Amino acid sequence: MAQLPNVLEMRAQEKKDLLQTFLTHHYCLVSGRSKATVPWLSITKNPQLYFADQYFPEKIPFKEPSKLTYGQVTEILHFWRQRQKHTPHDIFRFKKWKDFDGIMCDPVTDECMADDSGKGRLGWSVGS
């Protein structure tokens, strides 16, 4: 599972990059694709379709990381660092993903990843 580093010494762009990388990593996990594109606008419009409230700070709107303020990014990363301390294997998790046709899909199992050329077909297994 991806872990977050200490972010106190990071500059604004580094934090935004970390946030984007972390969310993209988790989106790749839920979709089973090694190179998935996060549908930022779709998630922004309906975040509750994509993840449970417990995974994101209540007072921060979900947006593509470059559109967030430094303070918002810092608060999100701090929120996840606190979750990491208490639930290290459950920091953040998408519950749905959108396929190439725009259809909302359930998570691909942890044991398998979808073939990047297919729409949810099982492909190769993931190493830890």
Between CA 109 and CA 80 the distance in angstroms is 23
CATH superfamily, region 12-125: GTF2I-like (3.90.1460.10)
Q: What local confidence, expressed as pLDDT, does residue 125 receive?
A: 24
| Confidence label for 11 from pLDDT (cuts 50, 70 and 90) | confident
All structural domains of the chain with their residue ranges: 12-125
In the chain, the N- to C-terminal Cα span, in Å, equals 8
Q: What is the mean pLDDT of residues 8-30?
A: 91
pTM over 0.95: no
Exposure string of 96-121, with b = 16+ CB inside 10 Å and e = fewer, is bbbeeeeeebeebeeeebbeeeeebe
| Angle CA 119–2–127, to nearest 5 | 60
Q: Under a CB-based contact definition with an 8 Å cutoff, are residues 107 and 94 in contact?
A: yes
Q: Where are the beta strands (DSSP E) in 1-126?
A: 97-98, 104-105, 112-114, 122-125
Here the tokens at position 18 are: 């970390």
Q: Under a CB-based contact definition with an 8 Å cutoff, are residues 38 and 23 in contact?
A: yes
Average pLDDT, the chain: 83
Q: What local confidence, expressed as pLDDT, does residue 55 receive?
A: 97
